[in-house]
Amino acid sequence: MTKTMMMAAGAMLVASPVLAAEPVEVRVAIHDLDLTSVDGRKALEQRARQAASDHCGTRSASDLKSGDAVKACREEVVAKVMRAARGTALASR
C-alpha cells in the first residue's frame, strides 16, 4: 500500500457536537504504523485520542452539560479513526 493511500485513510470527516453539526476533517497519521500488530493498534488509538482531545476541546465551566457533548465528540472521533484505519488495514491485505 502506498503512503498516499494510507495518509488518505488517516483523514476522515467527523461531525462534532461541540463545535457544530457540520463535518470537519480530523487527520491522524498512520503511514508509520503496522496496524496488524498490537503495538501499532495501541499507537493508533493513542493518536486518535489525542486528535479527539485537540478537536473536541474541553467542557465549559459555565455549562456543565457541555461535558457530555465533549465526551460524545471524543468517542465519535476515536471510533471513526479506528474504523477507517481498520478498513485501510484490510484493504492492504
What are the pLDDT digits (tens) for 39-89?
A: 999 999 999 999 999 999 888 777 777 888 899 999 999 999 999 888 766
Range of the domain at 49: 3-91
DSSP string, 19-37: T-SSEEEEE---TT--TTS
* Residue 84 burial (C-beta neighbours within 10 Å; 0-12, 13-18, 19+): buried
Looking at the 3D structure of the chain, how many domains does it have?
A: 1
What pTM value is reported for the model?
0.68
